[in-house]
């Protein structure tokens, strides 16, 4: 059973940088895509971006200028940093595994595809 | 960006009755090279992360009860719960993984009537 656990400060001041780490257990970080998704209190889900275990990334354009996602395969972790935060960045942040392959009669294809494993989420509040 | 629009926003259904949630995408999420719809459905209960129910628009995730089914193609999709159980009270989201940025519908809150 793959488990994901977010860690990091629950309170960040406006204009500062939000940093979170996701630790993956029960499976290797290799050969998969890994995403961050956030959910403001009482609202819907927003995909932030993903990283492949090799280090390639894809970011939501709405956050791209402030966002960095990195991976440390030796620690089975991936991380998020979001700079210049405002109250609008207050949300529960989830780290998530992207199902990264599907196989049919013709062979297998590499994703990313849908989100199959989620962390429990961590609430980050931006406030002075 | 592909905009995902769900209807209704909320739904109240009696126990044992059918619940139907619709999802419409602003452009097709059907990938012609493999004839697959890049559409998933998630269930989120209070205080929990979302859980995938359906992927490729109609494939049920392992362990998901068979009262949950997905249908549709192109831009119009439906999640059906054939016989509502008390434990199905949740918010349901559709999501496209056809192109980035991946996007979700606004959610449909399902309650017991």
B85/B66 Cα distance (integer angstroms) = 12
Query: Does pLDDT of A105 surpass 80?
Result: no
pLDDT of residue A75: 97
Instruction: Report the residue from A47, A61, A99 with minimal CB separation from B102.
Output: A47
Q: Work out the pLDDT band at B84, boundaries 50, 70, 90.
A: very high
d(C-alpha A120, C-alpha A4), whole Å: 8
Averaged pLDDT for residues B57-69:
97
The string of DSSP letters for A26-39 reads SS-STT-EEEEEEE
Using a CB–CB cutoff of 8 Å, tell me whether A57 touches chain B.
no
> Predicted confidence band at A100 (pLDDT cuts at 50, 70, 90)?
confident
Mean pLDDT of B97-110: 98
A15-44 tens-digit pLDDT: 999 999 999 999 999 989 999 999 999 999
Residues in A closer than 8 angstroms to B40, CB to CB, are 114-115
Integer Cα distance of A85 and A104 in angstroms: 43
How high is the mean pLDDT of chain B?
Answer: 97
Taking the C-alpha atoms of residue B99 and residue B113, their distance in angstroms, rounded to an integer, is 37
For residues A33 and A100, what is the distance between their CA atoms, to the nearest angstrom? 6
Distances in Å between the Cα of A26 and the Cα atoms of A2, A4, A12, A119, B96 are 5, 9, 30, 13, 27
The backbone region for A66, taken as left when phi is positive above 0, alpha when psi lies in -120 to 50, beta otherwise, is alpha
Residue A101 has pLDDT above 90, yes or no: no
Let me know how long chain B is.
113
Chain A partners of B95 at a C-beta cutoff of 8 Å? 45, 114-115
What is the mean predicted confidence (pLDDT) over A74-101?
A: 96
Contacts of A62 in chain B (CB under 8 A): 101
How far is the C-alpha of B92 from the C-alpha of B80, rounded, in Å?
11
Tell me which H or E stretch contains B30.
strand B30-31
**Per-residue pLDDT for A107 more than 90?**
no
- Other beta carbons less than 10 A from residue A52's beta carbon: 21
Task: Among A37, A45, A102, pick the best mutation site for testing chain B contact (most B Cβ within 10 A).
Answer: A45
């Amino acid at each position: 059973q793959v488990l994901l656990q977010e860690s990091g400060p629950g309170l960040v001041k406006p204009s500062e940088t939000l940093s979170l780490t996701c630790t993956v257990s029960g499976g290797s970080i290799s050969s998969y895509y890994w995403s961050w998704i956030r959910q403001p209190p009482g609202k819907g889900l927003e995909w932030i971006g993903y990283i492949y275990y090799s280090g390639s990334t894809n970011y939501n354009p709405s956050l791209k200028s402030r966002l960095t996602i990195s991976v440390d395969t030796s620690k089975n972790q991936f991380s998020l940093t979001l700079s210049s935060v405002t109250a609008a960045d207050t949300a529960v942040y989830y780290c998530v595994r992207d199902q990264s392959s599907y196989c049919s009669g013709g062979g297998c294809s590499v994703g990313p595809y849908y989100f199959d494993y989620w962390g429990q989420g961590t609430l980050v509040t931006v406030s002075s | 960006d592909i905009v995902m629009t769900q209807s209704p926003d909320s739904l109240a259904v009696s126990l044992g009755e059918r619940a139907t949630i619709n999802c419409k995408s602003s452009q097709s999420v059907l990938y012609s090279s493999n004839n697959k719809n890049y559409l998933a459905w998630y269930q989120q209960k209070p205080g929990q992360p979302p859980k995938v129910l359906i992927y490729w628009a109609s494939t049920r995730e392992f362990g998901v009860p068979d009262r949950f089914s997905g249908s549709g193609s192109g831009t119009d999709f439906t999640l059906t719960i054939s016989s509502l159980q008390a434990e199905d009270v949740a918010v349901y989201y559709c999501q496209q993984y056809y192109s980035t940025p991946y996007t979700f519908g606004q959610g449909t809150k399902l309650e017991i009537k």
